[in-house]
């Protein structure tokens, strides 16, 4: 599948978040319908650049996104919801208002055309690093990194500047 692009509709997908009673299904179409949302995705929970640069950039900019009418900021990774829930707490992202969603089987990432393998790092079927703004489920701004270890065009400040 080719990479998603500006003007594309987000694919139908069921992601998982960790709720009070355990994993809860989150339908992408339901959380984006009629809403302005930011989705940023990264190769893996607890990994270097993801933890030290990407997540903190959206924690720093969360209020500025809200001021621009963004209703939710979702962090997506090919991880299970338990890992994503623990990582959101460990980084403080949950308190900053970010919602972490696990794409446990990678189906959303594959449907977006943004899956990659980094065998040397033990990462298979992971998400490329990107950030996007979607309105009513349609991609309005999309910024994809050329390398998974870099967080420049997909960081919170860069996306904020682009919208």
Look at residue 5 and tell me if it is in a domain: no
For residue 147, give Cα distances in angstroms to 5, 49, 63, 92, 121: 18, 11, 28, 26, 14
Task: Tell me the pLDDT tens digit for each residue of 103-121.
Answer: 999 999 999 999 999 888 8
Q: 56 φ, ψ to 5°?
A: -60, -30
Look at residue 151 and tell me if it is in a domain: yes
The CATH number that applies at residue 38 is 3.40.30.10
Average pLDDT on 29-51 reads 95
Calpha distance 41→132 (Å, rounded):
9
For residue 54, give Cα distances in angstroms to 9, 76, 81, 89: 24, 12, 19, 15
% of the chain exceeding 90 in pLDDT: 90
Quote the pTM value.
0.95
Instruction: State which residues form the domain around 136.
Output: 14-162
Look at residue 9 and tell me if it is in a domain: no
Look at residue 28 and tell me if it is in a domain: yes
Q: Catalytic site residues?
A: 50
Calpha distance 2→144 (Å, rounded):
13
Task: Tell me the pLDDT tens digit for each residue of 118-144.
Answer: 888 888 899 999 999 999 999 999 999
Half-sphere exposure of 162 (CA within 13 A, CB side): 19
Look at residue 88 and tell me if it is in a domain: yes
Look at residue 7 and tell me if it is in a domain: no
Look at residue 90 and tell me if it is in a domain: yes
Look at residue 4 and tell me if it is in a domain: no
pLDDT band for 50, please (50, 70, 90 cuts): very high
Calpha distance 129→146 (Å, rounded):
8
How many domains does one find in the chain? Answer: 1
Q: What's the pLDDT score for residue 1?
A: 57
> Residue 160, Cα to own-chain centre: how many angstroms?
15
């Amino acid at each position: 599948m080719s990479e998603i692009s500006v003007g594309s509709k987000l694919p139908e997908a069921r992601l998982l978040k960790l709720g009070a009673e355990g994993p809860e299904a989150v339908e992408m179409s339901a959380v984006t319908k009629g809403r302005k949302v930011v989705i940023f995705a990264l190769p893996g929970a607890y990994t270097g650049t993801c933890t030290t640069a990407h997540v903190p950039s959206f924690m720093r900019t969360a209020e500025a996104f809200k001021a621009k009418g963004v209703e939710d900021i979702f962090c997506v990774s090919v991880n299970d919801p338990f890992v994503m829930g623990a990582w959101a707490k460990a980084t403080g992202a949950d308190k900053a208002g970010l919602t972490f969603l696990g794409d446990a089987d990678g189906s959303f990432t594959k449907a977006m055309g943004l899956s990659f393998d980094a065998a040397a790092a033990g990462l298979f079927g992971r998400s490329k690093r990107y950030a996007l703004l979607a309105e009513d489920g349609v991609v309005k701004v999309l910024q994809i990194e050329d390398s998974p270890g870099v967080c420049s065009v997909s960081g919170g400040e860069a996306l904020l500047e682009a919208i």
